[in-house]
Each structure stands twice: as structure tokens, then as C-alpha cells.
Chain A
Amino acid sequence: MLLVAAVLVLAGPALAQEGGEAYRDFPIVGSRVAIWVIAQLHLLFGAFVLAVPLFAVTIEYMGMRTGDQRYDDLAHEFTRLLTMAFSTTAIFGAMLLFMLLGLYPKFMSYLSSIFSATFLPYVLLFFGETFSLYIYYYGWGKLSPRVHLSIGVLLNVIGILVMMVANAWVTFMTSPAGIDDSGALVNVWDAIANPTWMPINIHRVIANVAFGGSIAGAYAAFNFLTAKTDEERAHYDWMGYIGNFVAIVALLPLPFAGYYLGREIYAFNQQMGITMMGGVFSWLFIVQAVLIGALFLAANYYLWLGMARIEGAERFRPAIKYLLILLTICLMIWATPHSMVASLEESRKMGGAHHPVLGFLGVMSAKNTAVNLMILTTYISFLLYRRGNRIATVAWARSGNIAQVAIFVGAAAVVIFLGVYGYYVEASVRIGFSVPQVGAVLFAMIAVTVIDAFLFKDCRETGGIRWGEISPRSQYALLLLAISFTWLMGLMGYVRSGLRQHWHVYGVVRDTSADAFTPTLGYATMVVSVTVLIFFAFLVFIFWLSRLSQKQAYRAQS
């Protein structure tokens, strides 16, 4: 399997140059959809495979620090999912490469001419990842904890490097650099470190963690719902909680990373940026807002239901209603289109790029405000959840609480003030407001967390957490989180590729195939949905296999 991949990578350029055709056709669905689906599946599994070691190692480390065996077992369980998912990723990767070479030979030969220098390192890194993964998995409990943890860290470092190499190829297609006017390579490092490379690297790492957390949560939810004993339920409830926790923690900074990426796209090519936010794709961001809304709602809903199993958390129930209302309002604002125009023609008729009525709420200013408030709200949910069964005993508890509330109110005030003020200033000034807005939110989250840590240092516990005693509905929230995340990744894949419009490599290699047009959103979402369903079908199979291996162990023991 690996050898096939290696041979293909190295022989690729040669294969691609044979024959003079630029395109070949894939039966029935056509080349584009075939590549689309396989690439997306490869990406989804890849994201999972990259994310799980990140938090497996973190959880293992927590286990080492606290001496709590549960953490170590959980990390081990996550890693078991990993080994199967890893081979699946590799299979899809090889399929993708094989199909690209077969279906898009000319384009691939161009891409090889730019990136051939990166192929060997990629293969080597890939081998490194494989070896460290297997050592990490099979060495569990057998190597010294320190050595084992270091291998886990190494696995992560290599995994991220593999992703970064692949990102270089993909981002080059969007924002080519390091080439001359005719498209010939001048500097391979410039081609790798093209304008959208770093933003995508960062965006993907964060999104992968959130996605991986949500998939782990779905795994736990599935097992919780089908569990036979209370003990199992308690275990999977806890695992689901951790998965959700990981997903939320990564979800919070994701919009910021998204804005960073968007800004880089604008900076690289303003026209592309406008196409993205105001042109053909403007409606896509409405769909995206629905999804992100679902994510935030599901995550919050899960936390609120989770309070039921915490003794003493009843105190906070009334607050939840208001958080829910706030979240819904923010969501509605966020989902207002940036510019509701359907076509350039229509835009001309309206005399501008903004809709006269809806454009008002849809401008960046309102959007930033809404998303910042959503993040704050989710954070408050989380905080309330955390202190569900705790009562602060320090002498300054009251003033500490007041300080926390004051910080929240202050941050919200800054966010809202800048949001409103944004309407009265020039666009160029307004853009600068997003920085203090984000700054206020980040500051509030950090400051409140620090105060909280001291506040609850030697707190009184009003009761324990009754793991396993959570409404099954909460588990569907976890499933919703995982499905929405997967679907969102698919949708973003479409826009990332779609931004290139009728170019394989933007402005350099034109797409002259029959598929050069950008399909409608409805069509794209169909493809995304089918891909997501295939992904889950594979995932269920992998989960089932992982359970199977456990069962055998059980019989051997008894």
C-alpha cells in the first residue's frame, strides 16, 4: 500500500507526460465529481488522523500529571480508532493521486514541474508518520511513559509537516507564487510559502482538532446510546464530554483563523476576495452561517443538558434561557448575507455592492459583532457548566465574581460599541475595528479563566458528577455536532476550490475542460452530502472493527 503510494508519487511526472491529452473522462459522474469526492474523503480521514494524536497526547500527558489511569485508557482508546483510520486515509490518498494523474495528466505534469522537489520529503515524512504511529500504538504501556509520550509528540510534529507539504500544493493552486510570467518555476520555496499557505495551515490544524473532537464525541455517543451497562454509559458519557470539550475549545478560535485566511485572500487578490464574499459564493456563507449556528447551538445545548448530571448545577438553569435568546439573535444577524446580490447585473441595478436594506446588517461590522458575542456566550455556558458543582470559598469570592461579570460586560460593550460605531466611519477605518473586538473577547476569556482558576482553587463541592446520567438527547447533540462539522468541512472544500473559478492554478493554468464552470450551490451541497454519508459509512465500519478487536480481548480474558 505504502509502496504503491511512493511509487506513484515518484513516477507521477513520467506517467503524466505520456500521451498528449489534457483531460480524460471518468465514467458516469465525470472527472470533477470523482476527484471531488475522493479528495474530500481523503481530507476528512486525514483531518481525523491528524487531530486525534493531538488530543490523545494531550490526554495522555494529563494522565501522567494527575496519575489518573482513566486518562491513559481514554487516550489509548482514541489511538485505537486512529490506526484503522490511518490506513483508510492512505488508501484514499493513493486513489486521489492515481485518479488525478489519470484524469488530469496535463495539469498534474505542470504541478509536478513546480513541486517535484517536495515529493521525496513528502514520502519520507509519510513513512515517518506511519512508523511513529505504529510505535505509539503498539508501544502503549510497554515503553517508558516518557519515551512513549515523546513518540506521541514526534507523531504530531511529523503529521503536521505532512499536512503542510500537501497544503503547499493545494494553496499554490489558489495563490500561485514563485513562478515567472509564463508559469515556469523560479523559486520552489516561494511556491510553497505562497500567500495562503500559512493561513490554511493554521486554519486546518485548528479545524482538524475541532473536527476530530466532534468525531470522537460521535463515537462516544454511539457507544453510549447502544451501551448495555451503567459502567459503559458512564465511560462513554465522559468520553463524549471530552470530545465535545475539545471540539468547543478549537471551535472558539476558528472564526478568527477564518478571518485571517479571508484577509490573506483579499490581500493576494482583491477580486478573488470579493468573488468569495460578494459574488457567486455570497450565498454559500449564509449556508455556512446556518452550519456554524448549528455547531454553537449543539455545543451549548449539550453543556446545558450536561448540567443535569452535576449536583448543584440547578442554580444556573434560569440563566440558560437568556443565553439561548442571545445566541439566536446573534445567529440571525450573522446569517444575513454580506451582499444579497445574485449577479453583477443585479448589483448594477441596485447601484452598488450592498443591498439597500439587508446590506445594512450584513456588513462585516455587524457580522464581527455577532460572532464575537456568540463566542462569549458559548464561553459563559462553559464556565457555568464548570462551576456547576462548585462553590468558591475564598474570602474574595464575591468581588471575584463581580470582577468576572464586569469583564464580560466590558468586553461585550467594547464589541457592541465598535460594531455600532462601525456604521459611522469609512470602510477602511471599520476594517481596523475587528482587531480590538477580537482582542476584547480574547482578553475577557483569558482574564476570566485566570480569575476562575484562583477563585475555585480550594472550592467546596456540592456534589459529584454522575457520569452516565445524562439525557440521551444530549448524545444526539454530539452526533449533530459531528455531522455538521463534517458537512461544513465539505462545504468549505467546495469554496476553497471554487474560488479558483475556471483555473486549475489561478491565473496560470486555465481549466479548459467541460467542467470549467462553477456548479450551483445546490449541486455542490448534494455532492457534499453524498460525501458526508460515504464518510460516515466508512467510519461506522471502522468503529465496528475497533469494537470487534475489543470483544476478542474480552473473551480471551474470561
Chain B
Amino acid sequence: MNVPLKIVLFTLAVTGFYTYVGAIVPQMEAHPPKSTEIGADMGPVELAATGKEIFFGKGTCALCHTIGGKGERCPDLEGIGRRAASRIEGVSAQEYLAQSMYQPNEYVVDGYQPTMPNISRAPIGLTDGEIIAVVAFLQNEGGEITVTPATRFEAAGEAGSQPVARTEGEGPLDALAIIKKYNCEACHDLAGAERRLGPPLHDIGARQTRAQILHSIVEPDAEIAAGEPPYTPGLMSATLMSTGFYDTLTLPELTALVEHLASLEGGE
């Protein structure tokens, strides 16, 4: 056989072999985590079950923690529901568990390094609701579930789960600032079609005219967006009212906001 051909075949064979090795190992595709919605009517059992999923899924807790293991790198969490009440004097079990997620370095378990990240921040970024569910799951490990979907933790502080800086949905900067300031994204997905407490707005510009958008913002309760299960009426107006949105927003700001929403036409 002529030499250059041999070399080409050799190269193909070696590359082929490595491709083959890559193909015979277990194949996993890792998808970005989805946020879980915590319904206001979830009971303790349901909450704990949801929390379990988050623990092993989006929360990535199981990357570090075991439940019923040796706890080599990070504390084993078996029986944590029982232990939690006596960790810090005067701090309830649920508050301790929440604190270990929101402010992991406030109390560092003996014998471990303070390497646990703030769970409410990026990159993990659990929502307040998701953290409630995880607390329920942990309390269920040897303790009693005391949290409900309405629980508000002290450890969450004012900031709570920080919105993450994103690139999507940019436009005139003041519109972005408004969205950030009033936390629209806590309830609306501006980047994708995810249902949060409110409908996704990534394609609002395609669905509604500027006038309709303006109306939805100024009088959210006048017409309730359709959804299955239905969206909670009054939620948006009450929230925005309490944060001073309607008192402080100026007309140019409102225009910019509507203009920005109208530019979101999905398809990203």
C-alpha cells in the first residue's frame, strides 16, 4: 500500500478508536435546571416530595451531601431534621435549615470547611419557594415539617433570592432597571416560555399591542391573563402596589417599559 494512504488510514483508525471509546461510556446529557413552582395550597407531604426533587436536581445538594453516608467532604444529612433544632440556641429547626442555605457561613458545622455556597444566589439560584420545599424535605429527615408555602425566613433577609444578571431582554437601560427594581422576573419569564407566578412575557410583544401591554401593567386586574391552572387575580397589582411601583414610576419610565416589553417577540 502506498505510504500516504497508509498514514491517512492510520489517522482515521486512531480517531475512530477514540470516538468509539467516547461512545461506549455511559451517555448523559445535562439540561439546565427548571424552576419548580410552589403552589400556595401544597401540604407538608407534597412540599417535602417537591423538596426532595430539588435536593437531587436543581439544588445539586447531592453533589456534596449524602443522606445516610460517611459525610466525608460535607456533612451527612441523615437525621438533620432532628439535629437542626439544637444546632444554634434559640434558633428553630426551620430557621436553622433556611439559614444553612441562605447564609451557609453563619454557622459552620464542626470539622468541615465553609465551602457551601449561598443557595439562593447564582449559579444554583433556588427561589424562596424552592428553599421552603427543601427545608420541608430536610425536616422530614427525622423531624417534623413545620414550614408551609407561606413561610418567610429571617435568613432570607431583604434581598432574598437575587435576580441574576442576564443578557437577554436588554433594551433601553431604564426599562431593564425598572424590571430589576420591581422584580418582574420573579413572576414572569422574560427569556423563555416558563410559567412562573405569572405568565411568561418573552413573546408579549407578539401577542399584544402596546396599548394592551400598557393596560395590563396599569390595571392588571381589569383583565386576567388566561392560564391553566388560572393565574391568581390581584397578585400582581397587590405586589406592585406594595413596592411603590404605581406611586413612583414616571411616564417616560412607563413608556420605556412598555416599549421594551413590546420588543420581546419570543423566538429566542
Kindly state the separation between the CA atoms of A375 and B121 in the bound complex, as whole angstroms.
42
B14 CB contact (under 8 Å) in A275, A343, A480: A480
Cβ contacts under 8 Å, B64 to chain A? 270-271, 274
Kindly state the separation between the CA atoms of A5 and B132 in the bound complex, as whole angstroms.
51
Q: Is the beta-carbon distance between A279 and B18 smaller than 8 angstroms?
A: no
Q: Is the beta-carbon distance between A487 and B18 smaller than 8 angstroms?
A: yes
**1/0 contact trace for B143-174 toward A, CB 8 Å?**
00000000000000000001011111011000
Q: Is the beta-carbon distance between B14 and A521 smaller than 8 angstroms?
A: no
* B21 interfacial contact with A, CB 8 Å: yes
A106 CB contact (under 8 Å) in B11, B32, B73, B167: B167
B60 CB contact (under 8 Å) in A106, A271, A352, A524: A271
**1/0 contact trace for B166-196 toward A, CB 8 Å?**
1110110000000010000000000110000
Cβ contacts under 8 Å, B69 to chain A? 351-353
* A311 interfacial contact with B, CB 8 Å: no
Question: For window 337-356 of chain A, which residues contact chain B by CB distance below 8 Å?
Answer: 342-345, 347-348, 351-353
Q: Is the beta-carbon distance between B32 and A344 smaller than 8 angstroms?
A: no
* B68 interfacial contact with A, CB 8 Å: yes
* A249 interfacial contact with B, CB 8 Å: no
A353 CB contact (under 8 Å) in B7, B12, B66, B124: B66
* B206 interfacial contact with A, CB 8 Å: no
Q: Is the beta-carbon distance between B3 and A226 smaller than 8 angstroms?
A: yes
Q: Is the beta-carbon distance between A279 and B63 smaller than 8 angstroms?
A: yes
Kindly state the separation between the CA atoms of A524 and B21 in the bound complex, as whole angstroms.
12
Distance in Å from the Cβ of A118 to the closest Cβ of chain B? 20
Cβ contacts under 8 Å, A487 to chain B? 14-15, 18
Q: Is the beta-carbon distance between A522 and B22 smaller than 8 angstroms?
A: yes
* A93 interfacial contact with B, CB 8 Å: no
* B117 interfacial contact with A, CB 8 Å: yes
Q: Is the beta-carbon distance between A508 and B32 smaller than 8 angstroms?
A: no
For chain B, which range describes its interface: under 10, 10 to 19, 20 to 34, or 35 or more residues?
35 or more
Kindly state the separation between the CA atoms of A283 and B22 in the bound complex, as whole angstroms.
9
Asked whether A479 and B7 contact (CB < 8 A) given A183-B165, A287-B18, A529-B19, the answer is yes
Cβ contacts under 8 Å, B115 to chain A? 270
Cβ contacts under 8 Å, A225 to chain B? 3, 6-7
* A9 interfacial contact with B, CB 8 Å: no
Distance in Å from the Cβ of A172 to the closest Cβ of chain B? 14
Chain A residue nearest to B171 in the complex (CB): A20
**1/0 contact trace for A444-466 toward B, CB 8 Å?**
00000000000000000000000
Distance in Å from the Cβ of B1 to the closest Cβ of chain A? 12
* B88 interfacial contact with A, CB 8 Å: no
* A390 interfacial contact with B, CB 8 Å: no
Residue picked from B63, B64, B164, most chain A C-beta under 10 Å: B63
Distance in Å from the Cβ of B101 to the closest Cβ of chain A? 14
* A421 interfacial contact with B, CB 8 Å: no
Chain B residue nearest to A494 in the complex (CB): B22
Question: For window 286-314 of chain A, which residues contact chain B by CB distance below 8 Å?
Answer: 286-287, 290-291
Residue picked from A182, A271, A283, most chain B C-beta under 10 Å: A271
- Name the segment of B23-31, B215-223, B229-237 touching the other chain: B23-31
For the complex with contacts A501-B123, A519-B29, A529-B16, 4 further pairs of A-B residues with Cβ separation under 8 Å are A23-B268, A274-B63, A512-B192, A517-B32
Listed A/B pairs (26) with beta-carbon separation below 8 Å: A22-B167, A181-B165, A182-B180, A225-B3, A270-B117, A271-B64, A274-B64, A279-B63, A342-B26, A344-B56, A344-B60, A345-B56, A347-B62, A352-B66, A352-B70, A487-B14, A507-B164, A508-B122, A508-B165, A516-B31, A521-B25, A522-B27, A526-B22, A526-B23, A533-B12, A536-B11
